[in-house]
Amino acid sequence: MNGVKMSNDLLLYATKKTIDNFNDKFKIDMQDIHLYKSLYLLKREFDDEGINLRLPYYWYYMGPLMDIPSFKAETGVSFNEFAPYWPAGDHTLVSPTIDIENPRDKETIDDKIFGLMERIDKGKDLVHPKIKDPVKEWLLDSVYDFAPYAFQKTFRKFELSFSIPDYADSEEMYNLLVRQFPEDDFENISDLYLEWENVIGQALEMGKKDFIIGINRSFWTAFCH
């Protein structure tokens, strides 16, 4: 792969640089969820600077995810080949040639990635102490600020209310979800939603926490499809 000119060097450089900085900063192996959310947040900042990263992504269960086939189309590098670069200390399997023509773009990307790592480092200390991966949680909170529907933000809080004591009031979040469901945009699952609303309402009254968690996962998968 060395010496091959990539079609989207900005995306490839930003991806590699994000992995480097993350591993150096937090001394943990960067997981896909860390990378996807970081790149999405960076993409929004690059947009403001007039840098089009052309990040291929879509919203799903845990927020924005990388569109893997489109990544290869953009960069010329298979994401599965690039993935072994993630673990800290294993930097030998992929070493693509990256050529950033505009020095200002490279400097901006470097600065924005450094700034994001600093915000993650500070933000993780503010995450609820019961959370096992505060870095991931901060990233999820941050990307969900830009979720397409208010329903998505509330649903996330509703789910967390069952696993984290005092995170949010479950019944309050449920009532808010009932008001926020975007019926016009999701007519195809309206019957499923009404079934979820009815079943969850009864389960809340009966205090069936584990049952609710299972039903939530099934419904959320359908909503995100």
Q: Are residues 186 and 218 in the same domain?
A: yes
Q: Cα separation of 41 and 96, whole Å? A: 24
pLDDT at 146 over 60: yes
Q: Are residues 116 and 176 in the same domain?
A: no
pTM score of the predicted model: 0.83
Q: Are residues 118 and 211 in the same domain?
A: no
Q: Are residues 155 and 53 in the same domain?
A: no
Residue 22, in any domain of the structure: yes
Query: pLDDT of 2-18, one tens digit each?
Result: 444 447 889 989 988 89
Q: Which of 142, 175, 199 is the last residue of a domain?
A: 142
Query: pLDDT of 63-90, one tens digit each?
Result: 888 888 888 888 887 776 665 555 554 4
Mean pLDDT for the chain?
85
Query: pLDDT of 22-53, one tens digit each?
Result: 988 988 778 888 999 999 999 999 999 999 99
**Tokens of residue 44, six digits:** 């929004």
- Residue 13, exposed/middle/buried by CB under 10 A (0-12, 13-18, 19+)? buried
**Tokens of residue 187, six digits:** 């007519």
**Phi-psi sector, 207: left (phi>0), alpha (psi -120 to 50), beta:** left
pLDDT at 61 over 60: yes
The DSSP-derived string for the chain is: -TTPPPS-HHHHHHHHHHHHHHHHHH-SPPPHHHHHHHHHHHHHHHHHTT------EEEETTEEEE-HHHHHHHHSS-HHHHGGG-STT---S-------S-HHHHHHHHHHHHHHHHHHHHHGGGS-TT-S-HHHHHHHHHHHTT-S-HHHHHHHHHHHTTTSTTS--HHHHHHHHHHH--GGGGGGGHHHHHHHHHHHHHHHHHT-HHHHHHHHHHHHHHHH-
Q: Are residues 103 and 188 in the same domain?
A: no
Q: Cα separation of 213 and 159, whole Å? A: 7
Rg over CA atoms, the chain: 20
How high is the pLDDT of residue 16? Answer: 86
- Residue 183, exposed/middle/buried by CB under 10 A (0-12, 13-18, 19+)? exposed
Mean pLDDT, residues 152-162 taken together: 89
Domain that holds residue 84: 9-142
Q: Which of 142, 161, 187 is the last residue of a domain?
A: 142
The share of the chain scoring above pLDDT 90, in percent, equals 45
Nearest to 203 by CA among 153, 167, 162, 154: 162
Q: Does residue 7 contact residue 53 with C-beta atoms inside 8 Å?
A: no
How high is the pLDDT of residue 92? Answer: 46
How high is the pLDDT of residue 2? Answer: 44
Query: pLDDT of 176-209, one tens digit each?
Result: 999 999 999 988 889 999 999 999 999 999 999 8
Nearest to 8 by CA among 92, 66, 70, 59: 70
* Domain tally, the chain: 2
Q: Are residues 105 and 183 in the same domain?
A: no
Q: Are residues 126 and 154 in the same domain?
A: no
Residue 4, in any domain of the structure: no
Residue 3, in any domain of the structure: no
**Tokens of residue 212, six digits:** 């609710």
Q: Does residue 27 contact residue 21 with C-beta atoms inside 8 Å?
A: no
Residue 190, in any domain of the structure: yes
